[in-house]
Chain A
Amino acid sequence: MKLASLRDPVGFVRDALVLVRDPLALSRGAFALVFLLRTTPLLAPCDPRFLRGTNGWLGWPDGGWHIPVHGLALPAAVVMALVVLRTLGALALMLGIYPRVSGLAAGIAGYLVLAQDAFGYMHHLHMLYLGAILFALVDRDAPRSSLLMLRLFVASIYVWAVIGKLASEWGTGVPLTAFVGNGALDRDLVGTLLATPERCAIVEIVVMVIEAAIAAGLLWPRTRKIALVCAVAMHIGFEIIGRVDSIGWQMMALLLVFTGDSEPPRTDTRSSTDHTSRR
């Protein structure tokens, strides 16, 4: 995807049309949009749960007491500047303006703001900032390598999610019983399905199997489409049942790297061997 130029609106529109055929650019744009929606008050009129009780700008201004990570307490003015930088970075990343710089700015500024309160860590925020940094590493001269990197990242999330479940009580019925009990899941929708620990155990095993199948299916070209459909359906299901913040939307944005052709339109101009040997 070429850099969008604000001085060339025709070129901007042309690039936008190219974007829908380029899985990397499409995913980057969608991911950065979710980034913006999650870290700014844009969605305030819709009253999403993650904005309740906040002013909408994630991490600032915040007059409460905090426990900074590794004692990294920054002055409020610096945090404000980082929030502005994070937002501008995400906006530029979404529009494809200097994606390398903007992605790094959004990701690093995001992590620095996140570090102001250790209890503010959430998996999906880590995913947002790490994802922005990975999109910054996309190389125009190596689109196939870039696409593979992003695809492996997405598949690894499912793999680690399964490992996490295998290493916990998932499969015994305890976790879902607990989630239903503490109101994390919509009882009206899943009350019957998860009425007993035995049913919870079955659902837990099914979810694990589906996640493992999605991870494998996404990486194999022949099963990619069906795996993609299953993954999207699963995330929409989780969103409806659990209202799991923005993680489902982030994953669906990332899953766009599996759309389109199995390979991006341009061929890499260098392989890892070439890259190494030139240096």
Chain B
Amino acid sequence: MRGRIYLTRTHLVATIIVCVVLPLASWLDGSGQLAWTMFSRTGQFRLVIVADGTQMNPTEIAAAAMPGPTAIALAGSDQLKHHDVMRATARRHLDDIADLACRLRPGAQLTVRLEERVRRSEPIRTSEVTRRCAR
């Protein structure tokens, strides 16, 4: 067996976790975020926010949220944005986006709808949260 290279138990476990488990797990949750999918996906998303029956532009929330990544993600998201990681994150944190909108519309009846598609050729899917904002 001379000349062959072995992995110590620690390195073997680390390699399996890093090279297989983490990427695979993120594939299974639909995001592929930990699977080095950079620049491969064409996912798009758009946010439709309605407060007391009136449409609210997500860029308004972005302006209040500046500076930072959340502001960058929300800015211009009233139109379809091409950013798959942001798309997956927005779906996962739709409730939190509603919380941010509530800061600007306390007491409002709020609906936040995410319209998304993983591929350009797919129909748009929607998910939605509705809540009464605290005063």
Query: Which residues of A does B touch, CB under 8 Å?
Result: 53-54, 62-67, 117-124, 126-127, 130, 134, 137, 139, 142, 144-149, 152-153, 156-157, 160-161, 163-165, 167-170, 174-175, 178-179, 182, 242, 244, 247, 263, 268, 270-273, 275-276
Min CB gap A123→B, angstroms = 4
A145 in contact with B7 (CB, 8 Å): yes
**Interfacial chain A residues near B18, Cβ < 8 Å:** 130, 134, 153, 156
Q: Which 7 pairs show the lowest CB-CB distances between chains A and B?
A: A64-B68, A164-B37, A65-B65, A120-B69, A156-B19, A164-B40, A119-B69
B8 in contact with A168 (CB, 8 Å): no
- With A64-B71, A65-B70, A118-B89 in contact, do A170 and B10 touch (Cβ < 8 Å)? no
**Please, what's the 1-or-0 string for B81-110, where 1 marks a CB less than 8 Å from any CB in chain A?**
010011001001100110010010000000
What interface size band does chain B fall in? 35 or more
The residue of chain A having its C-beta at the shortest distance from the C-beta of B84 within the complex is A168
Min CB gap B46→A, angstroms = 15
**Interfacial chain A residues near B66, Cβ < 8 Å:** 64
**Interfacial chain B residues near A153, Cβ < 8 Å:** 15, 18-19
B65 in contact with A118 (CB, 8 Å): no
**Interfacial chain B residues near A67, Cβ < 8 Å:** 70, 93, 96-97, 100
Q: How far is the CA of A182 from the CA of B100 in the complex (A)?
A: 28
**Interfacial chain A residues near B121, Cβ < 8 Å:** 169, 174
List 11 contacting pairs A-B, 8 Å CB cutoff, sorted by A: A62-B68, A67-B97, A118-B89, A118-B92, A121-B85, A145-B8, A148-B15, A168-B119, A178-B42, A268-B6, A272-B9
Q: Report which of B41, B65, B71, B82 forms a contact with A182, defined as CB distance below 8 A.
A: B82
B133 at the interface (CB under 8 A from A): no
**Interfacial chain A residues near B96, Cβ < 8 Å:** 67, 118
**Interfacial chain B residues near A63, Cβ < 8 Å:** 67
B50 at the interface (CB under 8 A from A): no
B67 in contact with A66 (CB, 8 Å): no
Comparing B27-35, B52-60, B124-132, the segment that makes contact with chain A is: B27-35
Q: Report which of B14, B73, B89, B103 forms a contact with A137, defined as CB distance below 8 A.
A: B14
**Interfacial chain A residues near B92, Cβ < 8 Å:** 118
Which of B5, B36, B82 has the most chain A CB atoms closer than 10 A to its own CB? B36
**Interfacial chain A residues near B85, Cβ < 8 Å:** 121-123
**Interfacial chain B residues near A124, Cβ < 8 Å:** 38
B48 at the interface (CB under 8 A from A): no
**Interfacial chain A residues near B71, Cβ < 8 Å:** 64-65
**Interfacial chain A residues near B70, Cβ < 8 Å:** 64-67, 117-119
Q: Report which of A62, A137, A161, A178 forms a contact with B67, defined as CB distance below 8 A.
A: A62
The residue of chain B having its C-beta at the shortest distance from the C-beta of A65 within the complex is B65
A119 in contact with B6 (CB, 8 Å): no
Q: How far is the CA of A139 from the CA of B103 in the complex (A)?
A: 50
Q: How far is the CA of A124 from the CA of B11 in the complex (A)?
A: 22
Q: How far is the CA of A117 from the CA of B93 in the complex (A)?
A: 11
**Interfacial chain B residues near A272, Cβ < 8 Å:** 6-9, 12
B35 in contact with A163 (CB, 8 Å): yes
Q: How far is the CA of A10 from the CA of B86 in the complex (A)?
A: 50
**Please, what's the 1-or-0 string for B1-27, where 1 marks a CB less than 8 Å from any CB in chain A?**
000011111111011001110010000
Min CB gap A128→B, angstroms = 13
- With A64-B65, A169-B119 in contact, do A175 and B40 touch (Cβ < 8 Å)? yes
